A and B are shown apart, each in its own frame.
Chain A
Amino acid sequence: MGEVRLMKGNEALAEAAIRAGVDAYFGYPITPQSEVIEYLSREATKRTGMLVLQAESEIGAINMIYGAAGCGKKAMSTSSSPGISLMQEGLSYIASAELPCLVANINRGGPGLGTIQPAQGDYFQAVKGGGHGDYRLLVLAPYNVQEMADFVKLGFELAFKYRNPVMILADGALGQMMEKVELPPQEPRVHIEYPWATTGKPKDGPRRVITSLHIEPEKMEEINLRLQAKYKKMEEEEVRYQAKNLEDAEYIFTAFGLVSRIALKAMDLGRQKGYKIGWIRPITLFPFPKKIFAEVSEKVKGILDVEMNSGQMVEDVKLAVCGNTRVEFYGRMGGVIPTPDEILAYFEKMFIKGE
């Protein structure tokens, strides 16, 4: 077993970044994720030589990542909702230029400056594009502090495998809360010469250019087709989810991130009352685990989706089940966290008393 510590989600993510041998972090403080840059400023450079820089703004930070990623470096940032909005242009450019990077969004309540309490209102932004153009981020949704740490290494592996930005979509509670976390071993920072990285013109090859500008429509369409093929490959190979009690389930509770834990508790309470409830937690939000929802939709009487927003992932659930079963939604907004009792009461109201 690795080193076990009691850490905040933000600190665990920062420590995991150091241990994953990340080359550079660019960021700008914002509640509830400021501990990341605070922790890295204190620890990272002296331990691995990792570059940690507070940019002049989130716009500066994401474009610094664009530059560092263009050199084949492992570069990352973290922010919270309003700051992530500022990064959208840069993420679109990075996706178009096909560069790897990791960005974590410690989602707070919105819209606007909103509140600093936890929320999941940025699902659409993370999963459906956020910035302009036909691109996708590969989105990972941790549900505990352990995964806040684990998904850093995984995120970079996927980012480099697909040369695509990866986003960790968490929320303010996951960032602020402390839990037990088993830390991975320290990996060295390594320099790898990627054939696409702009590290100087090779003697025996053509100039390397990184750009997201392609004036010729045919060329731009070619890029788009390549991107779409990549996203399709992600849908085939990278779907991750966790499920429980599907064998005898008549109903399914589904949720992502922190809320999936609360939904799991609600499932337990429901089972104590004799309701046959199963549970599905999408871990990758894009690619969305469509197949498992399609499969269960043939067997169950209904699905209850719970989120800390007005109903965003529920649209992907509905697309996946394609009208095969009833899908209901329960959500809280603006920084309010639903309770297991609340979820179960809503389930009974919609599915049991209505029958």
Chain B
Amino acid sequence: MTHESVFSGFGGQGVLTMGMILGYAAIFEGKEVTWMPSYGPEMRGGTANCITIVSDEMISSPIISKFDTVVALNQPSIDKFEKAVKPGGNFIYDTTTTLRHPTRQDINIYNLPAGDITVELKNTKVLNMVMLGAFLKITNVVKIESIWKGLEAMLPERYHKLIPLNQEAFMRGYNTVTAYKPVLV
């Protein structure tokens, strides 16, 4: 099985880290993984993203344009990547700062108020973990325990005290994400 996903948001929201944690989790399960960041002249206020592919077999190209799952952390990412979901694929986004919601009928759309959750958790930096939780709930690409191992591998030891907070954020996302049906106008 191969799962092709992209995580997208503002620079600083931790989208590249989401892909890396998933990548490490996949490695711990003996899977193949490629992680490809967007690199280039990105505009301030624009989006950063990383394409993360997890597979049981060798992955051919790390750069693709259609995805099984898109995770969007901000409005520009929703606008940019809605059309990049394969028919029947998943689109997961944060509703907290969203004005324009996705409208496609041929994909599965899920959302959650991830920004609000981070306010409840009193740390807005864990937004990426909330969204990663939502991603895993929908896709089941790896086991939750592997994500914990990935977190540990990713975080420098001096930050390991933050692991419980990150796990809580992840589980809140995991348990909160719900399906969304676009309203036809």
Contact surface of A with B, Cβ cutoff 8 Å: 4, 6, 31-32, 116-118, 172-173, 176-180, 258, 261-262, 264-265, 337, 339-340
A178 to B20, CA, bound (A): 8
Q: A261-B61, A265-B60 are in contact. Are A178 and B35 (CB under 8 A)?
A: yes
- Contact of A176 with B60 in the complex, beta carbons under 8 Å: no
Chain B, 148-185, CB within 8 A of any chain A CB: 153
B93 interface residue per 8 A CB criterion: no
B23 contacts the other chain (Cβ, under 8 Å)?
yes
Contacts of A262 in B (CB 8 A): 60-61
Q: Which of B33, B39, B61 contacts A265 (CB 8 A)?
A: B61
CA distance A6 to B60 in the complex (A): 17
Interface pairs (28), CB distance under 8 Å = A6-B23, A6-B33, A6-B35, A31-B40, A116-B40, A117-B40, A172-B39, A173-B62, A173-B63, A176-B36, A176-B37, A177-B34, A177-B35, A177-B62, A178-B23, A178-B33, A178-B34, A178-B35, A179-B33, A180-B32, A180-B33, A258-B61, A261-B59, A261-B61, A262-B61, A265-B60, A337-B61, A340-B60
Whether B34 and A179, one on each chain, are in contact in the complex, defined by CB atoms closer than 8 angstroms, is yes
Q: Once the chains are docked, how many angstroms separate the CA of A340 from the CA of B64?
A: 10
Q: Complex Cα distance A111/B7, Å? A: 32
Bin chain B's interface residue count.
20 to 34
Give the nearest-CB partner of B36 in chain A.
Answer: A177
- Interface of A, secondary structure class, is mixed
- The CA-CA distance from A263 to B124 in the complex, in Å, is 43
- Establish whether residues B32 and A261, one from each chain, have CB atoms under 8 Å apart when the complex forms: no
Whole-angstrom CA separation of A108 from B153 in the bound complex: 31
Chain A residues with CB under 8 Å of B59's CB are 261
Chain A residue at minimum C-beta to C-beta distance from B23: A6
Taking a contact as CB atoms under 8 Å apart, the answer to whether A6 and B27 are in contact is yes
- Nearest-Cβ distance from residue B108 to partner chain A, whole angstroms: 23
Of all A-B residue pairs in the complex, the 7 with the closest CB atoms, nearest first, are A265-B60, A178-B35, A177-B62, A177-B36, A261-B60, A262-B60, A262-B61
Chain B residue numbers with a CB within 8 Å of A339 are 61, 64
Closest to B28 in A: A4
**Chain B residues in 8 Å Cβ range of A32:** 39
Q: In the complex, which of the residues A6, A258, A264 contacts B58, with contact meaning CB atoms closer than 8 Å?
A: A264
Contact A173 B36 (CB under 8 A): yes
CB distance from B144 to the nearest CB of A (A): 19
Residues 18-52 of B at the A interface (beta carbon under 8 Å) = 20, 23-24, 27, 32-37, 39-40
Q: Determine how close the nearest CB of chain B comes to the CB of A270; give it in whole angstroms.
A: 13
A268 to B: closest C-beta gap in Å: 9
Residues on the A chain within 8 Å of B37, using CB: 176
Residues of A contacting B20 with CB < 8 Å?
6, 178
| Chain B residues within CB distance 8 Å of chain A | 20, 23-24, 27, 32-37, 39-40, 58-64, 153
Contacts A6-B153, A178-B36 supplied; 14 other A-B pairs, CB < 8 Å: A6-B33, A116-B39, A116-B40, A172-B39, A173-B62, A173-B63, A177-B34, A177-B62, A179-B33, A180-B27, A258-B62, A261-B59, A264-B58, A265-B60
The answer for the CA separation of A116 and B38 in the assembled complex, in Å, is 11
Q: Once the chains are docked, how many angstroms separate the CA of A339 from the CA of B64?
A: 8
Contact in complex: A337, B27 (CB < 8 Å): no
Q: How far apart sit A194 and B39, CA to CA, in the bound complex (Å)?
A: 43
Residues on A with beta carbons closer than 8 Å to the beta carbon of B62 = 173, 177, 258
Contacts of B32 in A (CB 8 A): 179-180
Rounded to whole Å, the gap between the CB of B41 and the closest CB of chain A is 8
In the bound complex, residues from chain A placing their C-beta under 8 Å from that of B63 are 118, 173, 337
Residue in B35, B36, B58 whose CB lies within 8 Å of A261: B58
Which residues on the A side are within 8 Å of B40 (C-beta)?
Answer: 31, 116-117
A331 CB → nearest B CB, Å: 15
Q: Tell whether, in the assembled complex, residue A6 and residue B24 are in contact, meaning their CB atoms are under 8 Å apart.
A: yes
CB-CB < 8 A to B27: which residues of A?
4, 6, 180
What's the minimum C-beta distance from A215 to chain B, rounded to whole angstroms?
A: 48
Most chain A CB within 10 A, of B33, B34, B58, B64, is at: B34
CB contacts (< 8 Å) of A265 on chain B: these are 60-61
CA distance A339 to B66 in the complex (A): 11
Q: How far is the CA of A296 from the CA of B19 in the complex (A)?
A: 42
Minimum Cβ distance to chain B for residue A147 (Å) = 13
B35 contacts A179, C-beta separation under 8 Å: yes
> Considering the chains assembled together, what is the distance between the CA atoms of A264 and B24 in angstroms?
25
A8 to chain B, nearest CB (A): 8
Q: Which of A32, A173, A177, A265 has the most CB of B within 10 A?
A: A177
Whole-angstrom distance from the CB of A110 to the nearest CB of chain B? 16
Minimal beta-carbon separation of A283 from chain B (angstroms)? 16
